[in-house]
Structures are given as structure tokens and as C-alpha cells.
A and B are shown apart, each in its own frame.
Chain A
């Protein structure tokens, strides 16, 4: 039995369906991510877990108890808000101790737990400070300290890093993960930043348009997106429209691209995904697109011309026009290629993924 379980959760606001039929399970000790573009329903789902919103349908169970209708103050979850939501009229100590005071903990215990929490977030001695005296990064740590001071069963994060400077984000990110792991806490983490989700989470659920599209480990989601929406959202992707040509009995399918009319081969594992004469999408990540001067012997080598080279420091993106088919290749360095050069683009079959349109 999993620690936290959502079954067929739905929520609408008027005519807008914010969350539709979402089911997921989080194991004890997991750092679980809810990832998706703005407006996909991930925050609403998190708020329903917290009890700040009531689901219109479905159930939420925690540690074998149905908590669907339990008010938030009885759930015992720690929540870190995107804007930190620190109480401006209380100082740091009073903020962190807020939940403890609500539980009527004795003063000595409160003091110990607050001191401990401050040490865990590496801000010892900050008890008397006022909220408006703190920097953004410090406020964020205090928000975390406040959530963990109550020794919650579950930690809920609502895009906690999105208001920090980029430089601060990565550092805080790894500290956060390290802290959660050390305290052996379970966490559900909402973010729209795919890189952040990949770096932090054990497993991720991708949500688009209120629906849960795919759940899995970061690498599986990246390599094998189940769906166009997921494929588009996670990292950059070349999406090639194509049609299946022959239905040969071999396991390798033959496709003709709609742009550029190139012929590509790739293994088709599930026949029903690629019926004859129906347009599908072939997806290949830019880092798997190789550029060569001469045509390659392994099929799927198409001729093209370099249109643009975008330098980004550690990597460069090279955009190639292959007779009307536009492709992106991610390389560590351009290797002597310049705009206008002719080259060959290799789309190796093992990296081509078949997606429904």
C-alpha cells in the first residue's frame, strides 16, 4: 500500500476543468515530482493534497486513511509556498514556531525545535530577525524551516525556487534535496522547470491540460515519452511528420516524411501505432542527430544545408534544412561547419520514437 494515493481526482472551477481524472501513488521516502506547463493543474492537485481545495470527485488516501474531506489543519503536512507566505508581523522564531504553537507544544520544546530547524537550513541565530530584513533566499529557507519544524509526515512544495535568482536556484536545489533525504521525509514537488524536476525527483508525473499524461523515472520519461504533449514539453525534440509506406512483415517499418519526402526506417514494436497511410510523428532528440560531411552507410542519412548555428557556451545548436524538413542537432562544437555548408544528417533508427499525432 503506498503512502499517498490519489484516485480519479477531479476539480472544476465553473466551466473550467482544472484537474481531470488524476490518479497517482507516492511511496514512503520518495521525492515525487508534479511537472507540467503553467495552467496544467499541478498546483491545484497539490492544493487538494494539502486540503486547501476540495476535490469534486475522487479520493485521497494517506497511510491507509481516507483524508479526502479532512481539513488542512488536521492533515499534518508541511507546505512550502511559492511566495513563501511568511507572516510579516511575526519574527523568524515566531514564524517557525507557528505550527508548534498551534499544537500547544511547551516552550522549551518549541525553542529546541526552532533552533534545530534553523541549523538544518543553515541560518543559525536568525531567531530575532524580522521577515522584511531577509533576502529572498533566506526567506525561502525560513519557509522550509517552518514546514519541517512540525515534523510533518509529508512535505509539499509549490514551485519554491521559481522566485530565486538563477544562480541561487541550483545551489538551493541540491541543499533542499539533501535535507529532505537526510530527514527521511516524503515529498511532493510541483514545478514547471523540467531540468529542476529531473535533477530533484525520484519519479515524476507529467501533467498537461489538467490530465496526468505519464508517470515514471526521469530518464524513462525523457527517452520514451508516451505522447506528443509529453514529448514536446520535456526537452527539445525534432518532430517529423511521416506516413507508413509498406506493411512489410519485417519488424522494420518504412516511412516517408511529409516534408522533404525522405525515406526513413525504424523498428516498429507496436503495429497499431503506425497503421498504413495515416500520418504519425517520428521524434528524435537533437543530441542524437549527427551531422556528417559524407552520406552514412547506416540508412536514414538525409542531405541538407546548414541554416543557423546558435552558440550557447557548452553546446551549440545547428539548424539544418533538408529539402524542406527542418532538423535541429545539438553538438558540443560545430566541428568546422558553417552556415551555408552542405552536410548529411544521420537519424539513427534506435533513437527514433514513434508518436501518435
Chain B
């Protein structure tokens, strides 16, 4: 397994052991057990479960809807995100910076909170609908936030940043002289985009499409709250478990997982095995051109401002509603009376404080554990090339490890929750009597598994940029392994580590999809509290939870950017 057996150090052995242990218990066994169970009925191997599932119209409908929704989302997000990226990368005009800063906002908005804000803003009893109703003197609300339009609107809002950010990064990576060379050879700007820029952007576009597709397949809050009668797989799995039909849930989980993984494979194939990295030597840094025509410049500024407003409007709505007096906002356009009562209630009630503490503690445990574990994985997986010889474990094992690490992220949250619940639901499983279901620890474990790929990837990227000769120099100066790690490696990969850990922490805070399947009273997270307030029609309280959550997320991100700079 390892290239030269004589070169294994005790440290390396320990790291390998930990890595394999976690992967075995966290990824391989649970997922395998779900797959195996789906092929079993009363102890015998059979395809019966699948036959049952696929014979139901509702399941077929759910599969088609999930895939259709995801494809449509990809197309819409591409149509929004790509032109925006071109506009903001190429040109400078008043307001550009503000929008660029705001553009990533939807990414850190927890999905449940986002759906909530959308309902308050765009729902049939929401501010916009009421305003239009009043304006045109209509009897009823002009629209209902339900069904395909609602879903697609929400999906586009929350996922266009994938295309925007990745296309922007891709554009920045393209050597500016390629476009210039094309123009000097006679290509019009349109031809340059078509024949030079877009082909170069293929890896970024594929990555964005993949992220969008998979996030959309895993979407749960939006279909739940305003999908109307649209069936999607995540909802089917949820309702199956709610009615106790664990077999159906397991089977549908496997189907969902297979579709997601198939998409992953399909997209990675087309990512292009060809390396397009142009040798960037003395590169002319692309300067943002100011837009030549005054009219176009004004248009761009107006569009940018409009977009910025559209982006923060849902959040502003949430803030507004969080101050609304409970029960008073019935048919008016805006809540008529405001109060601090919602926040007071949250602060004074012990259950509310407990909810925040639960989420913070669980997310912290999960993300810190992910960080520690990432160091184990990365030390094994990172390619360190020195004089053309690749050190460390062989390539196949490296790829296998990377793939296994990526699995929980590739799978929808529903699937991860189900696999852990199934595997560790009752004592007597193959690998010892672990029971996580019903305990506090099930959620931190699920959070850890779902989000550790983020941390691993971030750390991996940082580590790959690390010059191996730095550690060697430290060694030659007499530093032992621990010292080298603490004084050379850690400070240099710190920014990447912080970024990844923080992102995991922030996303775990607002996690809903898996929590709703596995939570217990002892570890009730924020998202569950929001959902229950919503169920009780305590809109103000739900909004208040959401606002506080966004506040914590913002503070965390600011803290992290300070932390990044402190060491780096």
C-alpha cells in the first residue's frame, strides 16, 4: 500500500489509522449499510424494494421533478451568473465594488432562513403581493408563491453565485494576453468571447454547473415550504420516514444518491482532461476598463444598484418582520406595529437560549473535529513533488481517499442523515454497538461528515501551494516533526484552514435538512426552532431567530477574516 515500507514513521501510521477509521465508520459503513438494506427484504437479497418504489407514480414523478428542477436551475443560474461575471470582471463603473461584495450573500444564507425571507417578501401574504394588490385595487393577491415559478425563483436567487463566483475566478485566471492576441489577429470582441474565453472557462463552468445541480437535487426547505404539490425526492424520503416506512425511505435514498453521484461522474468527465493552463509568464494584468459610452455606464450603475437591492431585500424583509408585533400583521402590506417582544422572548426563554447554545456547540465541535481530521487526511493525500519524484502514497490510493472524503459532500444532506441513522440506529451492527440515534451526538457527527470535505479541500489547496523546501530547510536547521509542523507548516496553511473551518461552522449553524431527520430534544438546533415557530404561525419569532442566525454568521465571517490576517 505505501510505496516504501521502510519509510513509514509512527506518526504516519497513526494518521493513516485515524483516517481509515473515520472513513470506515463515517462513510463506507453507513452508506454501504443503506445500500445493502435496500436490496434486502426479510433477510433475503432481492430487487423487490426497487420494484415497489419504481412502480409508484409518486416516486417516478419525484425523480423526474428533482432532475428537471435541477437542470432548469443550472440553466437559469448560468444565464444570470455568467453575464454578470463578464460585466463585473471586464468593466469598472460606479457601484461595481458594492455589488461585488454583496454578490456572495446568498451563499451564506441558510436555506431555511432564505425560504422564510422569501415567503415574507414574495409570498401571497407577503409585502410585495400586498403592495401590488393595494396599488391596483385587486381583490386577491396577484400571485401565489407556489410551485415551479416559486422554486425556480428561489433556486436562482440562492445558487446563481456559483456561476458568478466561479466564472469570475476563471476569467481572472485567463491570461489577459490571449484575448489581446486574438484581437490583434482580427477577432471582434464577440468572437474573442466565443472562441477564446468561453473554451478557456470550461472547467469553471462545469464546476459551477455541478455545484448547482447537486445543491438543487438536495434542496429541501424550498420544496417543503412553497413547492406546493410538486414532489421531489428529498420530500419523498422525509415523508416516508415520518410515516415509519424506513424501507421505502432507504430505497429512495439510494436512488437519490445514485442520481447525484452519476451527475458528479458525468460532470467530472466533461471537465476536460486536457490541461488548459497557459504558461503565464510576464502577464499583463487585466485592468478593468471604464465603460466608454456614458449611457451604457449609467445603465450599468442602475443595473448594479438594482441587483444589490434585490439581493438584500429578502434579508431586510426578515429584519422588518422580526420586529413585528405577534398577531398584528394580517392583511396589511407591512406589519402595522413593531416591538422588541420577539427578541425579548428569545432572550428570556430558556428553551430559546438553549437552541442557540446547541447549534453553536455542535457546529463548533463538528468544524474543529473536521479541522483536526483534515490535517490527518491532507498529510496523506497531498502530492509533494520534489525533483520529479512524488513522495507519499501511490496515486491510486490517493485518489481513492480523496473520493471517499468527497462522498458525504456529494450526497444530499437527507442521504447522509439517513445513512447514519440507519447504520447507528440500533445496537448490534457489524462494527460494534454504536447507537447514535436518539443521542446528542448524532447531529455533530452528521455535521462533521457533511462538511468536512469543505475543510479538507481548503486545507489541501493551501498545502499544495506550500513549497516543500521550506519544511526541508526547517529540518536541516534542526526542527523536529512537531516543531516543523507548528512553526512552518501551520502558519503557512493557516489562512486556508481558517477559511474552510469557518465555512463549515457557518453552514452547520443553519443546517436543516439533516437536522430535521435526526434531531432530539437534547440537541435541538436553531433551524428546528425556526421551523416550529413557523408551524405555530409565530412569524415574528421565526424571523427573529433568522436575523440572529444571520448576525452570528456575519460576526463569524468578520472574525475569521481577522484571524486569517493575524497569522498570515
Q: Which A residues contact B (CB, under 8 angstroms)?
A: 13, 50-52, 71-79, 81-89, 98-99, 102-103, 131-132, 146-147, 150, 156, 159, 162-163
CB-CB under 8 A from A83, the residues of chain B are 175, 177, 278-283
Q: Are A85 and B175 in contact (CB under 8 A)?
A: yes
The answer to whether B191 has its CB under 8 Å from any CB of chain A is yes
Q: Are B275 and A132 in contact (CB under 8 A)?
A: yes
The answer to whether B108 has its CB under 8 Å from any CB of chain A is no
Measured CB to CB, the closest approach of chain B to A233, in angstroms, equals: 20
Per CB-CB distance, the 9 closest pairs between chain A and chain B, nearest first, are A99-B185, A85-B181, A83-B281, A85-B177, A102-B186, A79-B184, A72-B183, A102-B187, A89-B199
Measured CB to CB, the closest approach of chain A to B546, in angstroms, equals: 43
The answer to whether B245 has its CB under 8 Å from any CB of chain A is no
Given contacts A81-B177, A81-B180, A81-B181, A86 and B187 within 8 Å (CB-CB): no
- List the B residue with the shortest CB-CB distance to A78: B184
CB-CB under 8 A from A72, the residues of chain B are 180, 183-184
Measured CB to CB, the closest approach of chain B to A73, in angstroms, equals: 5
CB-CB under 8 A from A84, the residues of chain B are 279
Measured CB to CB, the closest approach of chain A to B183, in angstroms, equals: 4
CB-CB under 8 A from B187, the residues of chain A are 73, 98-99, 102
Give Cα distance in the complex from A333 to B196, angstroms. Answer: 56
CB-CB under 8 A from B282, the residues of chain A are 82-83, 159, 162-163
The answer to whether B182 has its CB under 8 Å from any CB of chain A is yes
Q: Per-residue 0/1 for B261-284: is the Cβ within 8 Å of any A Cβ (1 yes, 0 no)?
A: 000000000000011111111110
When the two chains form the complex, which single residue of A52, A75, A98, A103 contacts B180, counting CB atoms closer than 8 Å?
A52
CB-CB under 8 A from B276, the residues of chain A are 88-89
Measured CB to CB, the closest approach of chain A to B328, in angstroms, equals: 55
- List the A residue with the shortest CB-CB distance to B191: A102
Given contacts A87-B196, A102-B187, A79 and B281 within 8 Å (CB-CB): no
The answer to whether B200 has its CB under 8 Å from any CB of chain A is yes
Give Cα distance in the complex from A65 to B187, angstroms. Answer: 21
23 CB contacts below 8 A, A to B, read A72-B184, A73-B184, A73-B187, A82-B281, A83-B175, A83-B279, A83-B281, A83-B282, A86-B181, A87-B178, A87-B181, A88-B276, A98-B185, A98-B187, A99-B185, A102-B187, A102-B188, A102-B191, A132-B275, A147-B185, A150-B185, A150-B186, A159-B282
Give Cα distance in the complex from A51 to B275, angstroms. Answer: 31
- List the B residue with the shortest CB-CB distance to A89: B199
Q: Are B277 and A88 in contact (CB under 8 A)?
A: yes
When the two chains form the complex, which single residue of B188, B195, B280, B287 contacts A73, counting CB atoms closer than 8 Å?
B188
- List the A residue with the shortest CB-CB distance to B202: A89
Q: Per-residue 0/1 for B186-198: is the Cβ within 8 Å of any A Cβ (1 yes, 0 no)?
A: 1110010001100
CB-CB under 8 A from A103, the residues of chain B are 186
Give Cα distance in the complex from A231 to B177, angstroms. Answer: 33
Measured CB to CB, the closest approach of chain A to B287, in angstroms, equals: 8
When the two chains form the complex, which single residue of B186, B188, B196, B280 contacts A99, counting CB atoms closer than 8 Å?
B186
Chain B interface mostly: loop
CB-CB under 8 A from B196, the residues of chain A are 87
Interface size of B by Cβ–Cβ distance < 8 Å?
28
Measured CB to CB, the closest approach of chain A to B96, in angstroms, equals: 17
Give Cα distance in the complex from A131 to B199, angstroms. Answer: 15
List 17 additional contacts besides A84-B279, A85-B180; criterion CB under 8 Å: A52-B183, A73-B186, A73-B187, A74-B186, A78-B184, A83-B175, A83-B278, A83-B281, A85-B181, A86-B278, A87-B178, A87-B196, A88-B276, A98-B182, A102-B186, A102-B191, A131-B278
CB-CB under 8 A from B178, the residues of chain A are 85, 87
CB-CB under 8 A from A74, the residues of chain B are 186
Measured CB to CB, the closest approach of chain A to B91, in angstroms, equals: 15
Give Cα distance in the complex from A81 to B282, angstroms. Answer: 10
CB-CB under 8 A from A76, the residues of chain B are 186
CB-CB under 8 A from B283, the residues of chain A are 83
CB-CB under 8 A from A89, the residues of chain B are 199-200, 274, 276
- List the B residue with the shortest CB-CB distance to A130: B274
CB-CB under 8 A from A146, the residues of chain B are 181, 185
When the two chains form the complex, which single residue of A147, A150, A163 contacts B281, counting CB atoms closer than 8 Å?
A163
When the two chains form the complex, which single residue of B181, B200, B274, B278 contacts A79, counting CB atoms closer than 8 Å?
B181
Give Cα distance in the complex from A72 to B178, angstroms. Answer: 14
CB-CB under 8 A from B279, the residues of chain A are 83-84
Give Cα distance in the complex from A88 to B195, angstroms. Answer: 12
When the two chains form the complex, which single residue of A71, A87, A132, A156 contacts B183, counting CB atoms closer than 8 Å?
A71
- List the A residue with the shortest CB-CB distance to B283: A83
CB-CB under 8 A from B181, the residues of chain A are 79, 81, 85-87, 146
Give Cα distance in the complex from A132 to B273, angstroms. Answer: 13
Q: Which of A13, A78, A79 has the most CB of B within 10 A?
A: A79
- List the A residue with the shortest CB-CB distance to B199: A89
Give Cα distance in the complex from A71 to B187, angstroms. Answer: 10
Give Cα distance in the complex from A52 to B200, angstroms. Answer: 21
Q: Are B184 and A50 in contact (CB under 8 A)?
A: yes
Task: Give B168-226 interface residues, CB cut-off 8 Å to A.
Answer: 175, 177-178, 180-188, 191, 195-196, 199-200
CB-CB under 8 A from B287, the residues of chain A are 13
Measured CB to CB, the closest approach of chain B to A109, in angstroms, equals: 15
Q: Per-residue 0/1 for B66-108: is the Cβ within 8 Å of any A Cβ (1 yes, 0 no)?
A: 0000000000000000000000000000000000000000000
CB-CB under 8 A from B191, the residues of chain A are 102
Measured CB to CB, the closest approach of chain A to B170, in angstroms, equals: 13
Measured CB to CB, the closest approach of chain B to A69, in angstroms, equals: 11
- List the B residue with the shortest CB-CB distance to A83: B281
Give Cα distance in the complex from A74 to B191, angstroms. Answer: 13
Give Cα distance in the complex from A78 to B183, angstroms. Answer: 10
Measured CB to CB, the closest approach of chain A to B393, in angstroms, equals: 27
- List the A residue with the shortest CB-CB distance to B184: A79
Q: Are B183 and A73 in contact (CB under 8 A)?
A: yes
Measured CB to CB, the closest approach of chain B to A165, in angstroms, equals: 14
Give Cα distance in the complex from A4 to B282, angstroms. Answer: 27
CB-CB under 8 A from A156, the residues of chain B are 184
Give Cα distance in the complex from A227 to B191, angstroms. Answer: 47
Measured CB to CB, the closest approach of chain B to A11, in angstroms, equals: 12
Measured CB to CB, the closest approach of chain B to A58, in angstroms, equals: 19
Measured CB to CB, the closest approach of chain B to A295, in angstroms, equals: 52
- List the B residue with the shortest CB-CB distance to A96: B185
- List the B residue with the shortest CB-CB distance to A132: B275
Measured CB to CB, the closest approach of chain A to B198, in angstroms, equals: 10
CB-CB under 8 A from A50, the residues of chain B are 180, 184
Given contacts A83-B281, A132-B275, A102 and B185 within 8 Å (CB-CB): yes
Given contacts A83-B280, A102-B191, A77 and B200 within 8 Å (CB-CB): no
CB-CB under 8 A from B195, the residues of chain A are 98
CB-CB under 8 A from B199, the residues of chain A are 89
- List the B residue with the shortest CB-CB distance to A82: B282
Give Cα distance in the complex from A87 to B275, angstroms. Answer: 12
- List the B residue with the shortest CB-CB distance to A75: B184
CB-CB under 8 A from A162, the residues of chain B are 282
CB-CB under 8 A from A82, the residues of chain B are 281-282
Measured CB to CB, the closest approach of chain A to B277, in angstroms, equals: 7
Measured CB to CB, the closest approach of chain B to A113, in angstroms, equals: 13
Measured CB to CB, the closest approach of chain B to A268, in angstroms, equals: 44
CB-CB under 8 A from B182, the residues of chain A are 87, 98, 102
CB-CB under 8 A from B180, the residues of chain A are 50, 52, 72, 79, 81, 85
Measured CB to CB, the closest approach of chain A to B363, in angstroms, equals: 42
CB-CB under 8 A from A85, the residues of chain B are 175, 177-178, 180-181, 278
Q: Which of A13, A85, A163 has the most CB of B within 10 A?
A: A85
Measured CB to CB, the closest approach of chain A to B284, in angstroms, equals: 8
Give Cα distance in the complex from A270 to B187, angstroms. Answer: 54
CB-CB under 8 A from A13, the residues of chain B are 287
CB-CB under 8 A from B188, the residues of chain A are 73, 102
- List the A residue with the shortest CB-CB distance to B276: A88
Give Cα distance in the complex from A48 to B495, angstroms. Answer: 40
Give Cα distance in the complex from A82 to B180, angstroms. Answer: 12
Give Cα distance in the complex from A76 to B277, angstroms. Answer: 28
Give Cα distance in the complex from A84 to B195, angstroms. Answer: 18
Q: Which of A50, A81, A84 has the most CB of B within 10 A?
A: A81
